Structure 1
């Protein structure tokens, strides 16, 4: 577990370094992005339950001038999203725990703890936790804002109003389309 936490800290530092350049471009418009320290404790973050996947928003787009967001996802065994395409976002996955299979276009990639995957926008993809334990990933999503999709899906689910039509409507709002096999 200490190795996972150390790797998580390293990845967060790398992520912040990569995206701080983009945030500096807007520093005259929003000095908060480049000058304020951002410290999110291990038990902090915005929590959502999205169709059985526990997600914690650790860094929200409102904190990065909409440049990126960072989430932690707990994916149950043999679970993952359906095949889908993002119109606007690239996704970066760092596997903290478990084994996954990523389907990206016509490629199939096996990923384990410590592996890093980048999924560019515009290409159909999905992933499945193939392990017998709950998997854990840290995802950086750029540009920011997609965490609002998780928030809306979670709210509708909690209110027992989540239907396939509602999921499709919310997905469409955020530039995501589900691909039929």
Structure 2
């Protein structure tokens, strides 16, 4: 993955800027990742089209995730309970916790995601390919 910055550079990205990955009805926009954060975290926006599913239930063995609502209402599964994450709502999901997210509304929704430690973005090319092959 090619980066213009490293962890000692200032990063300034405006609305819509970043490395974009289309995953079916989801779009991920990575704002900062391992090269730019010295592998301490990655930050991305996840946008879901109305009435659309997310990635499917999964867990991360060694990574905490933080979600922060930035637009609309995103439904996030944590364990066996769904939570509605509206603009301004904060949610931390510890490592090894089953989770998923979806948009169960008629409006576009988005969350800011912090993945701690970084490195998740390495998976994005294969995730995009999976969604292309499994439309």
TM-score range, shorter chain: 0.7 to 0.9
* CA-to-aligned-CA distance 1:43-91 (integer Å, 9 cap, x gap): 4211101132111111121101111011011111232221111112111
SS in 2 for 1:85: coil
SS at match of 2:13: coil
Does 141-150 or 76-85 show the bigger shift?
A: 76-85
* Match for residue 93 of structure 1 among 59, 67, 88: 67
Structure 2 unmatched ranges of 5 or more: 1-5
| Match among 51, 61, 78 for residue 34 of structure 2 | 61
**Contact 2:59–2:97 under 8 Å retained in 1:** yes
**Would the aligned equivalents of 2:73 and 2:110 in 1 still touch at CA under 8 Å?**
no
Normalised TM-score (structure 2): 0.83
Inter-partner Cα distance in structure 2 for 1:40 and 1:73? 16
Could you say what the CA RMSD is over the residues aligned between the two structures, in angstroms? 1.9
Please give the secondary structure, in 1, of the residue aligned with 2:59: strand
Take 1:157 and 1:105, find their aligned partners in 2: how far apart are those partners? 24
* Greater mean deviation of Cα atoms: 115-124 or 97-106: 97-106
Q: Tell me the equivalent position of 1:173.
A: none
* Structure (1 or 2) with the greater strand fraction: 2
Matched residue, 1:112: 86
Pair 52,67 (structure 1): closer, same or farther in 2 beyond 3 Å: same
Considering only CA atoms, is the larger Rg found in Structure 1 or Structure 2? Answer: 1
Greater fraction helix? 1
Q: Which runs of 5+ in 1 are unaligned?
A: 1-31, 164-181
- Seen in structure 2, the aligned counterparts of structure 1 residues 99 and 43 have a Cα distance that, compared at 3 Å, is closer
Count of aligned residue pairs for this structure pair: 128
